[in-house]
Structure 1
Amino acid sequence: MTGQLELITPYLPVYSEPIHDTQNNDKPNLLAGLLAGDFSALYGGSHPALKADEKWPRCETCANRTPLVPYLQINLSTECTPAEFRNLVPPLRPDGVTLFQVFVCTAYGENPGNCFEDWISGAAEGKAWLVRVVHFDGDADGLLASEAAEFQEAQRSLVTELVPTQRIVATWTPENPEVPHRETLFQLGCTDYDEEFYDAHEPVSGLKLLGHAILGMVENLPGDGDQEEGCSSCNADHSPDSAWSFRCLVQLGTDVVDDCDESEFMTSGNTYVLQCTRHPYVFQGGRSFSW
């Protein structure tokens, strides 16, 4: 019982004051502040920090190979980002700047919704996102991508319901420690837990670092359906037990719908970045939803 109700502290975003002119809020020059460590993260928008010699990442699921757009970019080299998170995803080098980036495809999918939702739900093959840890040298300022042809194409494909208008995450604040979500406890066979204790530590929804993921009745997690079979590094080590050992590193968003019909099936749910507990640079997508 104690192990199943393990408490984990989540970190919720603390946003800077919003810029009222949303057209000017999505600016490439915010990348300079991100790389300088003036704040922790950029959430949403269409300006990624890219190395000057690298190509814009593209979707491997949709036929048009649409340019991916940044969902979340976190500076791992600044104290504005929680130490607990940085210890789990350590900077690549002490010099310069290391970023944790999540890109997604926002092109329209074959099912209701978008390409990313098609892929992460197991309805489409390929890969409609990119999660990576990338290092920039101390004198690098990233690629100001507004002049790139791919930027114009990425903006045309931007679906604002999936990727929000760019916002600055100044820092992250620790919140009330969380127990595993009710659906997780049910899967573990834990049905006699203290309801009052659960209510006092129920997982919170929305964007967060760490904590426990909110689940629905249906899951698409590593090893389920068309998802990859756990951690490839663990599989190469012939460690099948640890191949399933993932933590919820980032809860990208939640949208639990209690009574959705079939037309809403592909557009409701919770999405996560999962991290192998043995290999810190192995990330996989997870999705859970209810119907």
Structure 2
Amino acid sequence: MPIERIAILGTGLIGASVGLALRSHGFHGTIFGWDPNPSQSAAALSIGAVTVTVEEPFTAAEQSDVILLAGPVFTILEWLEKLAPVLREHQLVTDAGSVKGALCEHATQRYNGQGQPGFLPGHPMAGKEVGGAQNADAALFQDAVWLFTECARSEQMNPTARLLADEWRAWIAKIGSRVIDMDAARHDVLCAWISHLPQFVSTALSALLEDEFSADDTLLPIGGRALREMTRLGSSPFSMWRDVAYTNTEAITHSLLALEQRLAHIRENLKTPELRSEFDRANQFRLSERFRKP
């Protein structure tokens, strides 16, 4: 069953970029676009990320084969609840949220059972430190990993919804992403280390520098590329990361504590051979094959 109609609820950076990527790789069906901020859906329409904007998202969802929820985690949780009684078993809901355990738990009694719509959680490991449809990019997902974390009862998904899920996976591969399946709990632990921890480190460093050197226009030029790269994520929106922190607290706390201990170790060994060992470990990580692009 080919996907002919897609509803993107949340046409900011990720949602609009998905629309652009699908269009640029040959999707000729209808892409409905809705956003709580009408200017965002209008921007998505103007750049060709969606084919039609809607004022009422439920109508678009009911008419679509696949519904993509592209927003902060709390917003996705809210939509999962609202859409469950509206959609039918031959439809598929997917998302682009940064946390998966909370979504799977919330969807357990609402999706993938008899008479219920299908749900395939997804997470594109791509983005920018700036949001909005105006920053959307059709190549955003090229060579990126797109994680899928099937929930409990996914084996009970309606056969038609399962076909849609398989085709959606194929489209994700077609737009240039490497598809990887992962358990939801493993996803949240892994992302706490490789995605959430870097964000909070950059946030802390940026806030610290703001406290120490507020309004010092010479700081960035002196710091150069290293400082720009280390603080780039510091401009990420609180609204998105608040939801991540709240729904993946345990895993993030563990990674932050481990980093605090590592920093303390370095601080205590600034004049000992142990410092060389830390640099050796860091160099090993950066030079290893696993860090290179696939």
TM-score (norm 1): 0.23
Rg larger for? 2
Specify which structure has the higher proportion of strand.
1
Q: Which has the higher helix share?
A: 2
Relative contact order (C-alpha < 8 Å, sep 6+): which is higher? 1
